Amino acid sequence: SAESSETLFCPISDTVAAEIFKKKPRSRHHRWRCAEVTFTCPEEALCQHWVSSIREQLAAIASRPKHLLVYINPYSGKRQGKRIYERKVAPLFAQAGVSTHVIVTERANYARDQLKTGAELQKFDGVVCVGGDGMFSEILHGLIWRTQIDGGVDPNCPEEELIPCTLRIGIIPAGSTDCICFATVGTNDPVTSALHIIVGDSQPMDVCSVHHNNTFLQYSVSLLGYGFYGDVLTDSERKRWMGPARYDLSGVKMFLTHHYYEGTVSYLPAKGIMGTPRDAARCRSGCVVCQHNRQLLPEKAERYEVDEASESDSEWRTLRGKFLAINAASMSCACPRSPKGLSPAAHLADGTTDLILVRKCSRFDFLRHLLRHTSKDDQFDLAFVEVHRVRRFCFTPRHCQSDSDLDLRENGKHQIFSQICRDHPACGCAPAYSSWNCDGEILNHTAIDVRVHCQFIQLFARGIEEPKVFEELPNPCAI
Ligand SMILES: Nc1ncnc2c1ncn2[C@@H]1O[C@H](COP(=O)(O)OP(=O)(O)OP(=O)(O)O)[C@@H](O)[C@H]1O
Ligand SMILES: CCCCCCCCCCCCC/C=C/[C@@H](O)[C@H](CO)NC(=O)CCCCC
Ligand SMILES: [Ca+2]
């Protein structure tokens, strides 16, 4: 009788593929590809039995999503989002039996607003965004907001214990920076991300809430940057038509302008935790530092009391000065521009953020600091740079000590003058204020209060896998 064969869908990493097929691993680490493995057996009935058993086993894995809500931003990055999804991702979802409800966004905040109020979320196992960090931010805001309102929690209160979101978020990278995807997967490759979604991976992630007085402003998972990165973002928004290259042009421009800003930073150091921002070790798949530090935090009710106690214990530290940049990196912020990131030893899910203060220095020194983001040298090993691992911090710009100053400034006057100064750096008048870059969005307040919420959301990812040495791999024939 004729032999029967059936091809099964099997995502594997390059290194495992190399071991199975005895090829050399490809140089671009962390990419996953589909491989076809054909099994043959002498009887068709037996073959069908195998196929249906394997399908049943796969369907029984509860962590694998079966129904996904997908939002595509058609204007992300090089405007390839729709094409990337249709050509590279949709066929994989179909092959893996994942059903989808796909929505192409019609305007900015379309996805966020739908998730906040309209979308019926009960029937989905996760929400996927096709786009960049801004699109991810929309999904994050929609889901967090919806969860708090449904649970009766007031997001405007900075002390409120937020309710974590249960729906996982998937990112199909199609943006300009793709920092969140890169730092959680190790590459910004749509096929790899689709496969992590299909196999149902989970990666917890910290979320910072940002408040001004008692008003909620925004959530952040990657970079909160005042000074250099705030100015780069403000300038680059007017060059959106250039696509991803806008950041390079604005980066050079803002480096040459060399503005510094005065202000006061207060922070609550993360005490008793494992890890420091100067460690050589990195946050990797199954990170023990993240697991350990999560366990240090007491459960909900007690945690609130402990935070209150430590804050009143005056463990807060305060620094004043002139800063070229104030950055809070809740994760490494690794991206194709800087594969080691703004804070290479930061952790995805340890309940802390790395507060990096770059004080006023010469252009030459600032360039040394920036260039070290792209080399092996330590960007913190410079006299004008300091870094602290913190649970919470506040910033107040120098000219903003009272509420009345604040209202005047934020209602336009400051915006107009700082814009004139930015556009005409030759006027010699340095602007008093920068803006906060919050995961690629500009905040419209400069005095902010930031608090880290440990492991607040879950992504369809598994963290960056350490490349394995060949000999360490099990022999597939022996399993
Ligand atoms: N249909 C749409 N039309 C215009 N803007 C949109 C639309 N859908 C989403 N947006 C907005 O586009 C902005 C940029 O999107 P996104 O982050 O996906 O791309 P990017 O800026 O190129 O990438 P990155 O954030 O990685 O730098 C987001 O702020 C998002 O709110
Ligand atoms: C003169 C040579 C200088 C070389 C310096 C390279 C330093 C690169 C560090 C890159 C840090 C990226 C941090 C990520 C921030 C994202 O949340 C945000 C949203 O996508 N992207 C930007 O704000 C876009 C920010 C782009 C900054 C360039
Ligand atoms: Ca963190």
Q: What are 71-125's pLDDT values in tens digits? A: 999 999 899 999 999 999 999 999 999 999 999 999 999 999 999 986 689 999 9
Please tell me the CATH code under which domain 4-202+464-470 is placed: 3.40.50.10330
Residues near ligand 2 (Cβ within 6 A) = 132-133, 177, 179, 222-223, 229, 232-233, 247, 251, 255, 333, 335, 337-338, 342, 370-371, 373-374, 437, 439-440
133 given a catalytic annotation: yes
Residue 171: nearest ligand to its CA? 1
H-helix or E-strand spanning residue 145:
helix 133-150
**Cα separations in angstroms, 40 against 10, 47, 48, 215, 361:** 16, 8, 11, 63, 68
Query: If you take atom 13 of ligand 1, which residue's CA is the nearest one?
Result: 134
Q: Which of 172, 32, 34, 30 is nearest to 465 (CA)?
A: 30
Residue 73: nearest ligand to its CA? 1
Residues 194, 31 contacting (CB under 8 angstroms):
no
Which ligand 1 atom sits closest to the C-alpha of 247?
Answer: 27
6 strand-pairing partners: 39
Q: Is 109 in the pocket of ligand 1 (CB under 6 A)?
A: yes
Which ligand 2 atom sits closest to the C-alpha of 176?
Answer: 20
Percent of the chain at pLDDT exceeding 90:
70
Q: From the candidates 14, 113, 125, 133, which is the catalytic residue?
A: 133
User: Kind of pairing, strands 4-13 and 32-41?
Assistant: antiparallel
Q: Which of 206, 73, 177 is nearest to 129 (CA)?
A: 73
Quote the DSSP letter at residue 221: S
H-helix or E-strand spanning residue 223:
strand 223-227
Confidence (pLDDT) at 428: 54
Q: Where does the chain hold its CATH 2.60.200.40 domain(s)?
A: 208-458
Q: Which amino acid is at 192?
A: T
How far is ligand 1, taken at its centre, from the CA of residue 367, in Å? Answer: 29
Q: What are 416-470's pLDDT values in tens digits? A: 445 544 554 445 567 889 999 999 999 999 999 999 999 999 999 999 998 655 4
Distance from C-alpha of 433 to C-alpha of 414, rounded to nearest angstrom: 8
Could you tell me how far CA 185 lies from the centroid of its own chain?
11
Which ligand 2 atom sits closest to the C-alpha of 236?
Answer: 24
How far is ligand 1, taken at its centre, from the CA of residue 174, in Å? Answer: 10
Query: If you take atom 5 of ligand 2, which residue's CA is the nearest one?
Result: 370
Distance from C-alpha of 214 to C-alpha of 233, rounded to nearest angstrom: 26
How far is ligand 2, taken at its centre, from the CA of residue 92, in Å? Answer: 31
Q: Is 173 in the pocket of ligand 1 (CB under 6 A)?
A: no
Q: Is 231 in the pocket of ligand 1 (CB under 6 A)?
A: no
Q: Where does the chain hold its CATH 3.40.50.10330 domain(s)?
A: 4-202+464-470
How far is ligand 1, taken at its centre, from the CA of residue 171, in Å? Answer: 13
How far is ligand 3, taken at its centre, from the CA of residue 357, in Å? Answer: 17
Give pLDDT < 50 ranges for the chain: 1-2, 25-27, 301-306, 308-309, 403-414, 416-417, 420-421, 424-426, 470-479
Residue 188: nearest ligand to its CA? 1
Confidence (pLDDT) at 407: 42
Residue 348: nearest ligand to its CA? 3
Q: Is 204 in the pocket of ligand 1 (CB under 6 A)?
A: no
Confidence (pLDDT) at 365: 98
Distance from C-alpha of 459 to C-alpha of 63, rounded to nearest angstrom: 12
Query: Per CATH, which fold does 208-458 belong to?
Result: Tumour Suppressor Smad4 (2.60.200)
Token pair listed for 336 = 């194709």
Q: Which of 442, 373, 464, 58 is nearest to 233 (CA)?
A: 442
226 strand-pairing partners: 326, 436
Query: If you take atom 18 of ligand 2, which residue's CA is the nearest one?
Result: 440
Confidence (pLDDT) at 15: 64
Q: Is 354 in the pocket of ligand 1 (CB under 6 A)?
A: no
- Say which residue the tokens 């006057």 belong to: 413
How far is ligand 3, taken at its centre, from the CA of residue 459, in Å? Answer: 14
Q: Which amino acid is at 470?
A: F
Q: Which of 454, 321, 459, 475 is nearest to 385 (CA)?
A: 321
